[in-house]
Amino acid sequence: MAGIAVEVLDLRKSYGSLQALRGISFSVAEGEVFALLGPNGAGKTTTVEILEGFRRRDGGQVSVLGFDPALGDRRLKQQMGIVLQTSGVDPYLTVAETVEMFRGYYPKPRPLNEVISLVGLTDKKDSRVTKLSGGQRRRLDVAIALAGDPSVLFLDEPTTGFDPGARRNAWEVIKGLKDLGKTIFLTSHSMDEVQFLADRVVIISAGRIVAEGTPDTLAGREKAAASIRFKLPPASELPAAIRSQAKAHGDFISIETQDPTRALYELTSWAVQAQLTLEGLEVTRPSLEDVYLEITEGSETAGAPA
């Protein structure tokens, strides 16, 4: 059984009168991709930076690989890779010089060219940081996090500003790191990213946990009704078995059903027999984004005074 990489118990943090974290508890297993989600201001960066040892907590317990990050132990720092939400690298160094500098902080860094190639910056190896585009800078941030070959990675919105291709590449890199047994702690506003990468998610809002689960089962998503949609062929009438469930939206018909196998059977066997084509036919379930929006709607009271 995998051990626990990160443990958080009743974590609290205030900024003046603002309670940014109001007692959150969760754990992350070794080798897991864990995603912390929530609206702007929910407390994600605060949590991540406490785990990284960059911010002090007011209350609760925190352990990363068995260390309390607040104590700044070197042995922990050497096993952590970090992508901050906003990075501060020296703009006058080149890509290679930057990665080389960070490699120097770790006892067993990954080879320089391998790190640069993993994030797709080989062409920009000798460019100064000032000359990089926003997405390329973000890739450099990811390269820095990988430089030390860490066993735990904290990635605070790692792919913000990436083009779709670069995002896919980053996902593959992260999947590859998971296959190597690394633990990955991610925050993201991209539900596609979370669906693709995360084993488990916790959603926070206004400093409290409001949901947790796997991307597929969050808030009973796997049991939610499926929706079947198609264009009704002209001058046709739906079979009696599904007529009562059908709703018209302009030219389209939608059917909400708990039993899509049966409903599709009724629908398509009727269409095939009548030699009709059901244009635009699709079956969907609520996406992670649908579920996320439902959970977080109305709970965005971050910023409320204590």
CB of 254 to Mg ion, least distance (A): 37
303 forms part of the interface with ligand ATP (CB under 6 A): yes
Tell me whether residue 38 or residue 215 sits nearer to ligand ATP (CB atom). Answer: 38
What angle do helix axes 134-147 and 164-179 make, rounded to 10 degrees? Answer: 10
In the list 32, 43, 57, 136, the residue contacting ligand ATP (rule: CB under 6 A) is 43
Tell me whether residue 45 or residue 98 sits nearer to Mg ion (CB atom). Answer: 45
d(CA 24, CA 64): 15
d(CA 53, CA 267): 58
The option from ligand ATP, Mg ion, none interacting with 42 (CB < 5 to 8 A, set by class) reads ligand ATP
In the list 1, 17, 40, 180, the residue contacting ligand ATP (rule: CB under 6 A) is 40
d(CA 93, CA 126): 9
Q: What is the DSSP string of 26-79?
A: EEEETT-EEEEE-STTSSHHHHHHHHHTSS--SEEEEEETTB-GGG--HHHHTT
- Integer-rounded Cα Rg, in Å, for the chain is 24
Provide CB contacts within 8 A for 30, sequence distance 6+. 2, 3, 4, 5, 181, 183
CB of 53 to Mg ion, least distance (A): 17
161 forms part of the interface with ligand ATP (CB under 6 A): no
- Give the strand pairing for 252-257 and 246-249: antiparallel
Total of residues contacting ligand ATP (CB under 6 A): 14
Please, which residues bridge with residue 64 across strands?
Answer: 6, 67
The option from Mg ion, ligand ATP, none interacting with 15 (CB < 5 to 8 A, set by class) reads ligand ATP
Tell me whether residue 184 or residue 267 sits nearer to ligand ATP (CB atom). Answer: 184
Binding residues for ligand ATP restricted to 71-110, rule: CB under 6 A: 85
Q: How far is CA 138 from the centre of its chain?
A: 16
Exposure on the CB side of residue 137, measured as CA atoms within 13 A: 19
d(CA 6, CA 27): 5
CB of 191 to ligand ATP, least distance (A): 14
In the list 5, 28, 35, 44, the residue contacting ligand ATP (rule: CB under 6 A) is 44
d(CA 121, CA 108): 22
The option from Mg ion, ligand ATP, none interacting with 38 (CB < 5 to 8 A, set by class) reads ligand ATP
The SS3 assignment for 285 reads coil
In the list 11, 42, 170, 201, the residue contacting ligand ATP (rule: CB under 6 A) is 42
In the list 8, 45, 79, 149, the residue contacting ligand ATP (rule: CB under 6 A) is 45
CB of 2 to ligand ATP, least distance (A): 27
List residues binding ligand ATP (CB under 6 A): 15, 18, 20, 38, 40-46, 85, 302-303
List residues binding Mg ion (CB under 5 A): 44-45, 85
